[in-house]
Structure 1
Amino acid sequence: MSPTTFAELGVPVQLTDVLEHEGKTHAFPIQVGTLPDTLAGRDVLGRGRTGSGKTLAFSLPTAARLGARGGRAAPGRPRALILAPTRELATQIDAVIAPLAAAYGMRTATIFGGVSQRRQEQALRRGVEIVVACPGRLEDLMGQGHVSLDSVEITVLDEADHMADLGFLPGVTRIMNATPQRGQRLLFSATLDNGVDKLVKRFLSDPVTHAVDPADSPVEAMTHHVFHTDGVDAKRDLIHTLASGASRRILFTRTKHQAKKLAKQLTAAGIPAVDLHGNLSQNARDRNLAAFAGEGVRVLVATDVAARGVHVDGVELVVHVDPPAEHKAYLHRSGRTARAGSAGDVVTVVLPEQRRETSQLLRKAGITVRPESVSSASPQVSRLVGEVAAHVEPSAAGPAPAPAQRGRQQSQPQAGGGRRRHGRGRSGGASGTAAPSGSTQRAQRPAPRGTAPSSGKGGAAASSGKGGAAAFSSRGGSGASRRRRSR
C-alpha cells in the first residue's frame, strides 16, 4: 500500500504547500488516523508514543479550521489553546504550528514560566489566534486579567500523561473549565493512567479514539544495549568512548551536578559537550541547545529535563550514564533517538550494584536484551561507536558532520528502511521474545517517509510532529520549573 498524502486526508492546499516546502508529503499513522476526524470538528483522543507525529496531527486541523472560518482574535482572547507540560515542548509545538498559521495570516504566541511575562502580555494585547502554553504561567496571566479563554474554539492537550506526572492536572482542569464547552477538544497521551482518563470523560464529547502504538511500548527502530562495567573508573572510560565519534548523542544523568561535571570532563578530554538541566538560566539553555543543534557540539549531557519535548535531528545514540529511576523515564529518554522513521541505538551503563534494579526496569519497559560485560576497549563498544559514526555524512563546511539523514529525505517507503546489521536479532518491541544475538533487541522498523526539516519560527527546524523539530529553546511552565529543580 502506498503512503497516504496529506492532500488525500483533506488537508487544505494552503497547508499542503507549506508542508511540501518543508519536505513533508506523506503522513504518519497517527496523522492518517486522526486527521479526517479532527478536520471534521470531532473531539479526538489520540494515543501514540514519543516521536509518532502527534504535533503535526493536531497542528494541521487547528490551523485549517481556524483559517477556514476567518476572522482575527480580539486582544487577550485567543481562538485556539494548546497546553503542553514543559517549555521545551511548548517551544517545539510553536515551531511546527507557526508556519501553518502564517499561511492564513494568523499569529501564534508561547506562554510559559522561567522568563519575563512582559513580552507574553504584549503579544496577547496585540491579539493572537493560537496560544501554546504551559499551565502554570497561563493560570497566572488569567488571574491577572491578561487573557480570557471564552473565545477559544479549539483546545488541545498534549502529553497529558506527563501533565499528570508533574501534578498539573488540577490546573489543567481549571483551564479546561474556562474554555467554552461547545468548542472542539483534542487530547493526546501515551497512556490514560494517573487521572488522564478522568480528563477524557469530563471534557471530550463523544470522542473518536485513535491508537497507533500500545501504551508505554518501546520505540521500534531502536537497538538496545546493556553494558556492565566493573567499577567507577571503568565506567568513566566507557562513557568517554561512547561520547566520542561524529554523530550527535545524548548522555543522561540522574543529577544536575553530574550533568555539569560530565560535560566539563568531556570537553576537557577533547569531546566538546554542553549540559542541560534545571540549574541553567533560560539564556544558557537556549545557547547550549543551539550549540548542540548546530555544527560545533555533538554531545549533550542532560538530566530528565530533556527526556520530553526536546528534539534535535540526527541523534543517533542515547546513553543512560545512570539508569533512570523508573521504566517510563527509560522509554522517554530513549525516545530522543529513533524518531519519525529513523533508527538509533540506546546504551545503558550498569555498575554491579545497579544490575538487579536495571533488570527490573527493563522488564517493565518491555525490553528484552542480554547484558554484556565490557570495557572501553571491547570490540562491542568499538563496533557500536563505529557503526553510529558511519551513518553520518561529513559536512562540506569542515570536519563537523551534518546530521544523519537515514531515510529522512525519502518520500516513498523502502523495504526494510533504515540501517541493517548483519547477524543481529530482531524482536517486536514489547513482545518479550529474547533477542537471539547477544546484546541487542531490534524491531521491524517503520518505512521512512519524507521528513526533511526546514526552518520554522524562531529558527527551529519543523518536521512531521515531534519527530523532526530541532527545538532551540528549553522552556516550560512556571509550575514545571519549580517541580523540576531537584533534577
Structure 2
Amino acid sequence: MPFPVTSPSLTRALAQRGYADPTAVQSAVLAPETEGRDLLVSAQTGSGKTVAFGLALASTVLGESETMPATHAPLVLVIAPTRELALQVHAELTWLYEFTRARILSCVGGMDPRREARMLAAGCHFVVGTPGRLKDHIERGNLRLDELEAVVLDEADEMLDLGFREELEFILSEAPQSRRTLLFSATIAREIAALARTYQQNALRIDTVAANQPHADIEYRAIRVLAHEQEAALVNILRAQDSRALVFCATRDTVRTLHANLTARGFTAVALSGDLSQVERNAALSALRESRAQVCIATDVAARGLDLPDLDLVIHADLPTNKATFLHRSGRTGRAGRKGVSVLLVPPQRRRRAEMLLREANAEAIWLTPPTPDEIHAKDEERLLTHPLLHETPDATKLALAAKLLERTNPELIAAAFVKLAQANLPAPAEITVLPPESTRPARAPHTTKADRAMVGHGSWFRVALGRKQNADPRWLVPLICKAGGITKQEIGAIRIFDRETKFEIAHEAAYAFANAAAAQSEARIEPAAPPGAARPHFDGKPKPGLPKKTPGKPRFAKPDGKLNEQQRRRRNKAGHA
C-alpha cells in the first residue's frame, strides 16, 4: 500500500529514503477522517511516529504548494521530552521536508541559547525543542508563537513522567487557540487524557496497539544468574550475541563502573548518563550509530527517546522499577519492523520481581542460564567459518599476493594467522556458575509457611559460626543471610540459635544458588549443616583409629601408676568414698 501523500516534494523524499509502505500509525494518521483535526495517538516506540506526524502536518502547512511559504515566525512547534529525541525528530523532519525548502531549528538544553536565539530571529518554519528550553525562549521573547498553525507533543507520557507539566501548560497556553494539536503517547493514561481534554478540540483518538499487547517484534529472555556473577553474565551475553547492545543501569555510578569494567575487558563501550555534557552525549551516540562502539551503558533518563538504528539487543543489568520503564527500555529495539531481543538479568532474590514485571507487561519470557565459555567459543568458530571475507571475490592484486604467500608459507599457517587476526580483539568470556535446569528444582508447595517447611523437611540446612555468645538475633541474622546468599527472607525457613552457631533452613529451590553465592563471599562463613537434633553417628564401643584405648574402671585423671591425684582424692572424700 503506497503512502497516501499528495505533495510531490514529500513523495520524492520518501522514495529517496526507501519508504515504500506506511506503518500502522502512519496509515492511521493519514486516513481521510483525520484531515485538519486534533489527534490523540497511542503507538509503540519505533513505529514511525515522527514521519507520521510530519506527513499529517503537510496539509496544514503546505496545502497545495510544493514549497513552504515565506514566514518569519514558526508555523509548527514540536515538543519532545529529551535532547536526544528532539535532535532525532529534527533530523527526521529535515530529510522529510528537504525538497520543500523548509527551515527547521532545534532548541534543546546543553546547546548555546544565544546561537539558538540568533537562528530564531532569522526565521524558520519548524521548531523542535525540549519543554524547558522552549519556555525560556518564549519568556525572553526569542520565540514567537502568534503564527503557529500546529503543535506536536511527542511522547507526552514521558514528558509528564519527567515533571514537565508546568512547562507544557505554559507553552500550550501561549499558542493560538486556532492551532492543530497532535499528541503522541505510548499509553493514554489518565493524565494524558486530562491534558488532551484541556488543550485539544474534538480530538480524534487513534489506538494502533491493543491494550496490554506486548511488542510483537521483541523476544523477551530472562537469564537466571547468581547475584555476584551478574557482570560475568553480562559479558558472556554480549560475547554470545555479538551485536550492538544497549545496557540499562539504575544509577550513574553503576553506569560509570560498568563502562570502565567492560572497556577494561576489551569491549568498545560508551556511556550515557545525566552528568555528561551534550557534546559528550552526541559523541557517544555517534560512536554507536557509526559502529565504532558495540555497547552503550545508560541510565533510564539518559536513554529516554533514544533511537538507535539496527539495535538488536537490550539488556536490563538492573531490573526496571515498573512496567512503563520495562516497556520503554525494551522498546529501544524491535523498531521499524526489525526484530530485537530484550534480556533481563535475574538473580534469585529478584525472581519474583521479574515475574511480576513480565506478567504486568503481558510478555512471555524464555528462562535461560548465561552462555558458558564453551558455548561462546563454539559461536566464535561458527562465525569464523562464515566470515564475510571468506565469501568475497578478491581482485587480481590480492590473488597475486595470496599466491606468493602460498609459495612461501604452509597453508595451515596462513589459515591459523587468519584465525588469530579475526579473533584478536574478542574479549575473553567470563567463567560462570552453571545453574541446574529449572525442571530439576522441586517447586515449593503452595501456601506453606516457614514453620510448615521446617516440619515437613522442604528445606536444606546451613550453619554460620554466630550464636548466643555473639548476641545472634534473627533481626540482623536474616539480612546477613539474604545478602550473603543472594536470596529473599521468604526463602529462609526455620532458624535455630545455639551457643556458638546458628543453623537455618533454605528452601530447596534456592539452596543450590545460595550455597554458591555464600561460598564466594567473605563476610560470614556459611556452610551446609545437618538439621538440628539429627542423630549423631552410633558409637559401637570400638576404639577409633589413632586414639588410645581407655582402661575400664580406671579413673579419668589417674596417673600412669594408677594412683589418684590430690584433686581426685578430695572429690572422692567429699562424696563419702574415703
TM-score tier, shorter chain, comes to: 0.7 to 0.9
Q: Distance in 2 between matches of 1:305 and 1:387?
A: 38
Partner of 2:249: 253
Partner of 1:73: 71
Would the alpha carbon gap of residues 222 and 303 (structure 1) be closer, same or farther in structure 2, given more than 3 Å must change? same
Q: Distance in 1 between matches of 2:387 and 2:218?
A: 17
Asked if the contact 1:158–1:187 (Cα under 8 Å) also holds between the matched residues in 2, the reply is yes
Matched, 1:316 2:312: yes
For residue 14 of structure 2, the aligned residue among 11, 15, 19 is: 19
Q: Distance in 1 between matches of 2:218 and 2:93?
A: 28
Shift of 1:277: 0.8
Shift of 1:20: 0.6
Asked if the contact 1:29–1:212 (Cα under 8 Å) also holds between the matched residues in 2, the reply is yes
Query: What amino acid is aligned across from residue 225 of structure 2 in structure 1?
Result: T
For residue 341 of structure 2, the aligned residue among 323, 331, 345 is: 345
Q: Distance in 2 between matches of 1:183 and 1:399?
A: 58
Q: Distance in 2 between matches of 1:389 and 1:51?
A: 32
Q: Distance in 2 between matches of 1:46 and 1:387?
A: 45
Partner of 1:35: 30
For residue 332 of structure 2, the aligned residue among 327, 330, 336 is: 336
Q: Distance in 2 between matches of 1:389 and 1:176?
A: 57
Q: Distance in 2 between matches of 1:94 and 1:132?
A: 6
Rg bigger for which structure?
Answer: 2
Would the alpha carbon gap of residues 190 and 151 (structure 1) be closer, same or farther in structure 2, given more than 3 Å must change? same
Listed as ranges, the matches of 1:190-201 within 5 Å are: 190-201=186-197
Q: Distance in 1 between matches of 2:270 and 2:292?
A: 10
> Does the residue aligned with 2:100 lie in a helix, a strand or coil?
coil
Q: Distance in 2 between matches of 1:192 and 1:80?
A: 23
Shift of 1:65: 3.1
Matched, 1:181 2:181: no
Matched, 1:150 2:140: no
> Does the residue aligned with 2:171 lie in a helix, a strand or coil?
helix
Matched, 1:262 2:258: yes
> Does the residue aligned with 1:305 lie in a helix, a strand or coil?
coil
Asked if the contact 2:79–2:154 (Cα under 8 Å) also holds between the matched residues in 1, the reply is yes
Q: Distance in 2 between matches of 1:23 and 1:67?
A: 22
Asked if the contact 1:307–1:329 (Cα under 8 Å) also holds between the matched residues in 2, the reply is no
For residue 242 of structure 1, the aligned residue among 212, 237, 258 is: 237
Asked if the contact 2:248–2:316 (Cα under 8 Å) also holds between the matched residues in 1, the reply is yes
Cα distance per residue 1:65-85 (max 9 Å; x no partner): 3123642221xx211111111
Q: Distance in 2 between matches of 1:280 and 1:145?
A: 29
Q: Distance in 1 between matches of 2:225 and 2:379?
A: 16
Asked if the contact 2:313–2:342 (Cα under 8 Å) also holds between the matched residues in 1, the reply is yes
Shift of 1:374: 4.0
Cα distance per residue 1:56-109 (max 9 Å; x no partner): 1101232453123642221xx211111111111101111111123332111011
For residue 278 of structure 2, the aligned residue among 279, 282, 294 is: 282
Partner of 1:407: none
Shift of 1:310: 1.2
Q: Distance in 2 between matches of 1:140 and 1:236?
A: 42
Q: Distance in 2 between matches of 1:116 and 1:79?
A: 23
Matched, 1:111 2:107: yes
Partner of 1:5: 2
Structure 2: gaps spanning 5 or more residues: 393-420, 424-578
Shift of 1:291: 0.7
> Does the residue aligned with 1:41 lie in a helix, a strand or coil?
coil
Partner of 2:157: 161
Asked if the contact 1:108–1:129 (Cα under 8 Å) also holds between the matched residues in 2, the reply is yes
Q: Distance in 1 between matches of 2:267 and 2:101?
A: 45
Higher relative contact order (CA 8 A, sep 6+): 1
> Does the residue aligned with 1:58 lie in a helix, a strand or coil?
helix
Shift of 1:45: 1.4
Would the alpha carbon gap of residues 252 and 31 (structure 1) be closer, same or farther in structure 2, given more than 3 Å must change? same
Residue identity (%): 33
Query: What amino acid is aligned across from residue 341 of structure 1 in structure 2?
Result: G
TM-score w.r.t. length of structure 1: 0.74
Query: What amino acid is aligned across from residue 83 of structure 1 in structure 2?
Result: I
Asked if the contact 1:254–1:304 (Cα under 8 Å) also holds between the matched residues in 2, the reply is yes
Would the alpha carbon gap of residues 370 and 345 (structure 1) be closer, same or farther in structure 2, given more than 3 Å must change? closer
Q: Distance in 1 between matches of 2:381 and 2:201?
A: 52
For residue 56 of structure 1, the aligned residue among 27, 36, 51 is: 51
> Does the residue aligned with 1:172 lie in a helix, a strand or coil?
helix
Asked if the contact 1:10–1:39 (Cα under 8 Å) also holds between the matched residues in 2, the reply is no
Cα distance per residue 1:415-439 (max 9 Å; x no partner): xxxxxxxxxxxxxxxxxxxxxxxxx
Would the alpha carbon gap of residues 87 and 38 (structure 1) be closer, same or farther in structure 2, given more than 3 Å must change? farther
Structure 1: gaps spanning 5 or more residues: 401-487
Shift of 1:399: 7.2
Q: Distance in 2 between matches of 1:79 and 1:267?
A: 46
Partner of 1:361: 357
Would the alpha carbon gap of residues 47 and 391 (structure 1) be closer, same or farther in structure 2, given more than 3 Å must change? farther
Would the alpha carbon gap of residues 191 and 385 (structure 1) be closer, same or farther in structure 2, given more than 3 Å must change? farther
Across the aligned residues of Structure 1 and Structure 2, the Cα RMSD in angstroms comes to: 2.8
> Does the residue aligned with 1:346 lie in a helix, a strand or coil?
strand
Shift of 1:332: 0.8
Asked if the contact 1:316–1:337 (Cα under 8 Å) also holds between the matched residues in 2, the reply is yes
Query: What amino acid is aligned across from residue 102 of structure 1 in structure 2?
Result: E
Would the alpha carbon gap of residues 184 and 390 (structure 1) be closer, same or farther in structure 2, given more than 3 Å must change? farther
For residue 209 of structure 1, the aligned residue among 205, 215, 222 is: 205
Would the alpha carbon gap of residues 192 and 166 (structure 1) be closer, same or farther in structure 2, given more than 3 Å must change? same
Asked if the contact 2:224–2:347 (Cα under 8 Å) also holds between the matched residues in 1, the reply is yes
Q: Distance in 1 between matches of 2:386 and 2:154?
A: 32
Shift of 1:200: 1.2
Cα distance per residue 1:318-370 (max 9 Å; x no partner): 11111111111111111111111111111111112212222212211112225
Partner of 1:45: 40
Q: Distance in 1 between matches of 2:169 and 2:346?
A: 40
Would the alpha carbon gap of residues 84 and 347 (structure 1) be closer, same or farther in structure 2, given more than 3 Å must change? same
Would the alpha carbon gap of residues 38 and 54 (structure 1) be closer, same or farther in structure 2, given more than 3 Å must change? farther
Would the alpha carbon gap of residues 156 and 135 (structure 1) be closer, same or farther in structure 2, given more than 3 Å must change? same
Asked if the contact 1:37–1:44 (Cα under 8 Å) also holds between the matched residues in 2, the reply is no
Q: Distance in 1 between matches of 2:122 and 2:303?
A: 34
Q: For this pair of structures, how many residues does the alignment match?
A: 390
Shift of 1:217: 3.6
Listed as ranges, the matches of 1:418-429 within 5 Å are: none
Shift of 1:135: 0.9
Would the alpha carbon gap of residues 307 and 384 (structure 1) be closer, same or farther in structure 2, given more than 3 Å must change? farther
